[in-house]
Structure 1
Amino acid sequence: MISKLFKFSILFITLCTIRFNAMAQQDGMNSQYFFHKMYINPGYAGTIDEIQSTLTRRDQWVNIPGSPKTTSIMVHGPMGEYNFGVGGIFILDQLGPESKSSFLLNVSYQIHINYKVKLSLGIQAGLISDNIRWEDIEVKDKYDPLVYEQENSSRYSPDFNVGIYLYGLSWYAGVSARHLTQSEYAYSEGTVYKSAYSLLSRHIYLFSGVIFPLTRDHSIYMKPSFMLKYLQSTGIQYDVTTNFLFMNRFWLGATYRNTKSIIAMTAFNITPSITLGYSYDIDLGKTLKFGSNSHEVMISYSLKDKKRIINPRQF
């Protein structure tokens, strides 16, 4: 039964993501992706025995006017002993005169493969609101009908995401697909300017990680992980990360991103329930000459189940 269900889940995501259109990347970026698993993969919701909330702020390419800024709030937890997890996400992405708000609800169901391994199947659904302030756009021809005839407005589009999350006591792996509905969010209806860029592009994510002790007294842990993202218009982007945990309190790590970026990161478990994290992206690509690096700050709070033996933030 479990084998058939797992095969069906893989087939479902595969069929949902066969067809792509050439579009630009639209999902916000997170360098501390291991603290944002539910955003990447709906199957993660409720897989830890605690109610967890995470607030993140990311300022990208800070020296470039109108550069991307992302604020996100995520809350999730298990539903007692029913093998279900629930969660909610709010994300605000800002880029120049454009802002995009996402309101998403999450449900997952956990299946016990054996006493050490679980499989979680998740779905995520909600609305995305796109807003643009046309008067903030500077154009050479102020009477360009694409800008001159437009009024500030909001457009709401449905969004649907699915994910499979497999995990044990010290490792995890998952695959997910986002924006399956490819909803329209064009700003200029009925004009010749409407294009494929007015559609939400499907994204495929694959990620995995493991943690293991480096010392006999378990005072130092090593946690390698990776995240891969694919869409047809931009190809494959991947992050390869190594983190170290000292005395179950202090994190220190680095990431290499194949889009010519390196990332330094740190986190501190202020209390067993509160974690504060920070990352600094150094762009070695075309924006290097502008000195345009990125900052990301994260704070997480957890209501823990005291019966839990391993700190869930370790994986």
Structure 2
Amino acid sequence: MLNRKPHIDQFKTLAFFACLMSMLVTNLIHGQQDAQYTQYMYNTVSVNPGYAGSRGHLSVAALHRSQWVGLDGAPKTQTLNVHSPIGYRGAGGGISIVNDQIGPTSETYLDVDISYTIQTSLNARLSFGLKASGHLLDIRFSELNQDITNPGGPDPTLQQDVDNKFSPNIGAGVYYHTDKFYIGLSVPRFLETTHFEESSLSTAAEQMNFYFITGYVFEVNPFLKFKPTVLTKLVQGAPLQVDASANFMLNDKFILGAAYRWDAAVSAMAGFQISNEFLIGIAYDRETTDLGRAVFNDGSFEVILRYDFMKTKGNVKSPRFF
């Protein structure tokens, strides 16, 4: 007789997440502020600390994104993260560095993630994560004040830069997964810190970003896997971001996919699992707004490298598709 308990557990977990999401949607103005990723499904620990250690071994990933290439001051993002299980009692930990540059603004985050995982059934796990971070903010206002023909002289409110302002923060996330399915809800940074420079009358504010992620891997046949995924990001004062993607993995080696960012962009993705340990992925975005039709905008490019220090003995398992 088949054991139906895992299906019941999964249904209860899905209902729990649905209730949380309905509460968030009815109480928030939607939008975006954190760094943006197209290949978020391979960079999950950056948005959800519950993911730390969930791969079952030490995992290292590095990502670079150049957005709106050709536009002066366009966003550039680099991330480096390392995470692994800790001990044998469901604990996991990780460290991430995120550097995000937009025009004269540069932000650097150093994150420490701690997770605790409960095995809810034979193949299902529920993880709770905490994120502690330090944030460095640098804004070079003086670079915006280049009009030497101004008869009134330089604008005095733009002469004092924000120089490496430090602020601490905390975040949390919940992450549930099986061998083929995952779902998560997280807020990487709870504290809405406001940086105020009295001398320059300038203000820079951090806001909470809410993330909802989910995906499922369908085994079409022994050689082909299909994985649809969704990411939803909400933040007050900016448009709702919804990323939906469809990825195919052939022979556990080659990955091809496409994505749509609601009312914003379309993307193409490709990846190659060089070995069971080493993955390389690339992505290209093209804006569907007026910005995408601008002659100076060549689109957005992203590359990710991931290496898993696997300790599998005996029969080698195929690489997990998330």
State the TM-score, normalized to the length of structure 2: 0.86
Contact 2:278 2:306 in 1 (8 A): yes
How far 1:252 sits from its partner (Å)? 0.2
Report the equivalent of 2:259.
255
Aligned partners of 1:178, 1:167: CA distance in 2, in Å?
Answer: 19
Look up the SS of the partner of 2:320 in the other structure: helix
Match of 1:166 among 150, 169, 176: 176
1:66–1:192 CA distance, 2 compared to 1 (3 A): closer
Aligned partners of 1:86, 1:114: CA distance in 2, in Å?
Answer: 22
Q: What is the letter of the counterpart of residue 179 of structure 1?
A: R
1:313–1:114 CA distance, 2 compared to 1 (3 A): closer
How far 1:152 sits from its partner (Å)? 5.7
1:58-107: per-residue Cα shift (whole Å, max 9, x none)?
A: 00000100100001001101013120010011011011111000000000
Look up the SS of the partner of 1:259 in the other structure: coil
Contact 1:77 1:86 in 2 (8 A): yes
Contact 1:208 1:227 in 2 (8 A): yes
Match of 1:53 among 40, 57, 60: 60
- Report 1:198-277 matches (<5 A): 198-215=204-221, 218-277=222-281
Look up the SS of the partner of 2:245 in the other structure: strand
Match of 2:188 among 178, 190, 200: 178
Contact 2:31 2:239 in 1 (8 A): no
Contact 2:31 2:240 in 1 (8 A): no
- Are 1:62 and 2:62 an aligned pair? no
Contact 1:237 1:257 in 2 (8 A): yes
Aligned partners of 2:216, 2:45: CA distance in 1, in Å?
Answer: 17
Match of 2:41 among 28, 34, 40: 34
Aligned partners of 2:239, 2:106: CA distance in 1, in Å?
Answer: 25
How far 1:234 sits from its partner (Å)? 1.5
- Percent identity between the aligned chains? 27
- Are 1:295 and 2:301 an aligned pair? yes
Contact 2:282 2:304 in 1 (8 A): yes
How far 1:134 sits from its partner (Å)? 3.0
Aligned partners of 1:229, 1:113: CA distance in 2, in Å?
Answer: 27
Look up the SS of the partner of 2:272 in the other structure: strand
How far 1:161 sits from its partner (Å)? 1.1
Contact 1:17 1:177 in 2 (8 A): no
1:253–1:24 CA distance, 2 compared to 1 (3 A): closer
1:151-194: per-residue Cα shift (whole Å, max 9, x none)?
A: 461100112111000111111000111321111234x2366554
Contact 1:69 1:95 in 2 (8 A): yes
1:242–1:23 CA distance, 2 compared to 1 (3 A): closer
Look up the SS of the partner of 1:314 in the other structure: coil
How far 1:138 sits from its partner (Å)? 3.2
How far 1:144 sits from its partner (Å)? 1.4
Q: What is the letter of the counterpart of residue 30 of structure 1?
A: Y
- Are 1:112 and 2:112 an aligned pair? no
- Are 1:43 and 2:67 an aligned pair? no
Q: RMSD between aligned alpha carbons?
A: 2.8
Moved over 6 A (4+): 16-24
- Are 1:156 and 2:179 an aligned pair? no
1:24–1:314 CA distance, 2 compared to 1 (3 A): closer
Contact 1:23 1:201 in 2 (8 A): no
- Are 1:145 and 2:156 an aligned pair? yes
State the TM-score, normalized to the length of structure 1: 0.88
Report the equivalent of 1:189.
198
Aligned partners of 2:175, 2:198: CA distance in 1, in Å?
Answer: 39
Gaps in structure 1 of 5+ consecutive residues = none
Greater mean alpha carbon deviation, residues 121-130 or residues 24-33 = 24-33
* Paired residues, number: 302
